[in-house]
Amino acid sequence: MARTEFGRTVRHWRERVSPEAVGLPTGGQRRAAGLRREELALLAGISVDYVTRLEQGRAVHPSEQVVEALGRALRLSGAEREHLFNVAGLVPPGRDMVPAHISASVHRLLDRLTGTPVAVYDAAWTLLLANPLYAALMGDPSGWRGNERNGVWRNFVSPGSHLRRTPEVQRAFETALVADLRTTSSRYPADQRLRRLVAELRANSDRFAELWDSGAVGRHEASRKTVDHPQVGPLTLDCDVLSVAGSDLRIMIYTAEPDTEDAERLELLGVLGTQALVDS
């Protein structure tokens, strides 16, 4: 019964969300209003087959991460998110866990910044949401799973960023990133996922382990960055990180100085990124 209720709830909320409301194109014939299963799967970062099995009650025990991702994709309110956890047979994450809920106001903010690369990270630097222009600039994150969605992991274990840094700047960046994660770990000592992330980082990166053991505490700050983009060439952009009061979320925003070649290239990237999405 609980599994049936969870699937029924997900389907009901999926059907009330319009593609326009979540920034998706509306082309093609639709038999019903709301999101298609494949669209919800794309937004939540899970497979279409799994969404289908969840809605039909054939998938058992969705994980906390899956329920959280579905809640973000469906833009649930705080009360609705709590209900979704309850019908999944899970206890909603408490205040001792790194917050991952994105409020409606933050969603509206992102909706208004379509011409700006924007992403939302949690306090442990796990990517929660990225708009199409951010994906075009930094790489499409829709296929990233597990630790791949964590910025610290991607910097130490699976590098491949388009960002250009000197060795000295890279070392300073790594130190600041580890110090920031240590601060988050001190603030959320009961978060088991965060503890596993730190343990796996230590096991897979000697550089991370060295910095972690140094005991540095601090915060990663915004900076000016150069992105070597394979389509439009280098872009030097300001990267600002905004904190969301009461949630510890980080909103990362890239902007270019007006009337510069960087601004022109960013505008071109917006056109190319949109065309890529339509063509696919």
Give the pLDDT confidence of 189-237 residue by residue, as tens digits: 999 999 999 999 999 999 999 999 998 777 776 688 999 998 899 999 9
Instruction: Give the domain-ending residue among 40, 58, 87.
Output: 87
Q: What is the pLDDT of residue 280?
A: 31
Of the pLDDT bands very low, low, confident and very high (cuts 50, 70, 90), residue 162 is confident
Q: Which long-range contacts (CB under 8 A, 24 or more apart) does 244-247 make?
A: 244/103, 244/106, 247/99, 247/101, 247/103
**Domains in the chain: how many in total?**
2
Q: Give the domain extent around 50.
A: 2-87
Q: What is the pLDDT of residue 23?
A: 74
Same domain, 217 and 275: yes
> What mean pLDDT do residues 136-141 have?
88
Query: In CATH, what number is assigned to the domain containing residue 63?
Result: 1.10.260.40
Same domain, 66 and 135: no
Query: How is the beta sheet containing 163-164 ordered, strand by strand?
Result: 127-130, 118-121, 250-255, 233-243, 223-229, 163-164
Same domain, 78 and 183: no
Q: What is the pLDDT of residue 28?
A: 65
Q: What is the pLDDT of residue 27?
A: 65
Q: What is the pLDDT of residue 78?
A: 86
Same domain, 112 and 244: yes
Same domain, 44 and 168: no
> What mean pLDDT do residues 271-276 have?
65
Instruction: Give the domain-ending residue among 59, 87, 115.
Output: 87
How many angstroms separate the CA atoms of 267 and 19, rounded? Answer: 24
Same domain, 81 and 202: no
> What mean pLDDT do residues 10-39 have?
83
CB 254 within 8 A of CB 136: no
How many angstroms separate the CA atoms of 47 and 49, rounded? Answer: 5
Same domain, 108 and 81: no
Tell me the Ramachandran region of residue 9: left when phi exceeds 0, alpha when psi lies from -120 to 50, beta otherwise.
alpha
Q: Does a structural domain hold residue 98?
A: no
CB 119 within 8 A of CB 41: no
Instruction: Give the domain-ending residue among 34, 55, 87.
Output: 87
Same domain, 131 and 209: yes
Same domain, 189 and 220: yes
Same domain, 56 and 141: no
Q: What is the pLDDT of residue 160?
A: 67
Same domain, 273 and 229: yes
Same domain, 111 and 219: yes
Of the pLDDT bands very low, low, confident and very high (cuts 50, 70, 90), residue 3 is low
| Single-letter residue type at 280 | S
Segments of the chain assigned E as strands: 118-121, 127-130, 163-164, 223-229, 233-243, 250-255
